[in-house]
Structure 1
Amino acid sequence: MNSAFTAIRQGGCKAEIRHVLAEATRDLHTAVDRRAALFDMRNPEGLSSFLSFMHAGLSAIETALDEFGMSSIFPEWPDRKRLHILEEEIAMGNQAGGRAVRFQSEAETWGALYVLEGSRLGGRMLARMLPEPSISPFLAGNIDCRFWSVFLGKLSDADDRLNDRNGMMLGAGKAFGAFLTP
């Protein structure tokens, strides 16, 4: 990640961390979106393949956040986790996920949460594209979800408290990478 992003300014003010993370991870986000677009979710095979793709990244990230102790940093974390819903839907149980991810700092975990919460927004759009959103409980659960604005406030607070945008960008990069590495 480019440390120049830590100094991004808008109108003489410090840029909001969500904009810094979006700019710093734009290429990775695009790569994940391109990979996800390969699946035709209008048919059962395509939806199943998409859910397996999501499982690889989500399982690596959620496991790493749990190992770091995310619940003590972000008390809402247990309610935000979605891996169990995904595993129930695709009946994977304890199947291994993608590559291992490790977060080295609290700032990295906030970067990873930015990616996960953003994927929930993407899931809302995808669910609306399905012929019948209820065919995927994992995606349907995102339709009425309103976590994003609350999360952005907490992300901004963490940014002010930690003053480690490079760490946040690194964590976001690791999280996107979990979706791109088999």
Structure 2
Amino acid sequence: MSHTDDASRRTGLRWHLRRETHSLHEAADALGGAHDLGTLAGYRGFLRAHARALPALEAACDAAGLATLLPDWPRRRRAAALAADLAALRVAPPPSPPLAFAGLEEALGAAYVLEGSRLGNALLLRGVVTEARGAVAYLSHDPGAGGWPAFLGLLEKALPGPENWPQAARGARLAFEHFLAALRRERTAEPMLHA
């Protein structure tokens, strides 16, 4: 394959979102990677941080009507799995500050971030401390029906032309910023939890 062929394949919405959120993605990976999933305290902190962001993001996607663009959206939601893991580890769920999206395009951009985090979570699963192996519903959540490739197909079909891509990118940035704020809040809350 030539360089030109490769470049022409990177013109869809997913590539636009990837470019637009690259620095935020790196920042989220760096902050999220600070949790040592090989310890019970680290894994609990990881779950609490995600619980500070995920429920509100999913609720905002629901309120924007994301299921009209992504028919399998209800199967992709992970807040219940996250809540079950927190309960299994006897961790009180932290508050998840609300947010809202200006429209479906922004919600679709946020869904791109949420689905990407699912991929990352699957990679983290093998590093979870043995004592928490019964509380991995969130990390192992599988929406079925094609997973990430199916999501990308729906993403490209929903917004095939670039006229609405800026709104989708704004939603993706909002989602990353919400996760980053949650990760930072958890980092400052952690010392108080262990005092």
Q: Same fold (TM over 0.5)?
A: yes
Displacement of 1:163 in angstroms is 3.1
**Aligned equivalents of 2:56, 2:122: Cα separation in 1:** 22
- Identify the residue that residue 174 of structure 1 maps to in structure 2: 174
TM-score (norm 1): 0.84
Root-mean-square deviation (CA, aligned residues, Å) is 2.5
Query: Aligned-pair distance for 1:74?
Result: 1.6
Measure the CA separation in 2 of the matches of 1:163 and 1:179.
Answer: 27
Partner deviation per Cα, 1:52-72 (whole Å, 9 max, x = no partner): 011111112001111112222
- Offset at residue 21 of structure 1 (A): 0.7
1:53 to 29, 49, 56: 49
**The one of 100, 103, 106 aligned to 1:102:** 100
Which structure 1 residue ranges, 4+ long, deviate > 4 Å from structure 2? 92-95, 131-135
Which stretch has the larger CA shift, 151-160 or 131-140? 131-140
Residues 108, 168 of structure 1: 8 Å contact kept: yes
Q: Which residue number in structure 1 is paired with residue 76 of structure 2?
A: 80
Where does the alignment leave 5 or more consecutive residues of structure 1 unmatched? 1-8
- Out of 16, 36, 51, the residue aligned to residue 32 of structure 2 is 36
**C-alpha distance in 1, partners of 2:24/2:84?**
28
Count of aligned residue pairs for this structure pair: 172
* Counterpart-to-counterpart distance in 2, 1:136 and 1:47: 10
Cα distance between partner residues in 2 of 1:93 and 1:108: 30
Q: Which runs of 5+ in 2 are unaligned?
A: 1-5, 186-195
TM-score by length of 2: 0.79
User: In terms of Rg, which structure is larger?
Assistant: 2
Deviations 1:74-103 (A, max 9, x none): 211111000011011102677521x32211
- CA 1:44 to 1:14, structure 2 compared with 1: closer, same or farther past 3 Å? closer
* Distance verdict in 2 for CA 1:74–1:27, change over 3 Å: same
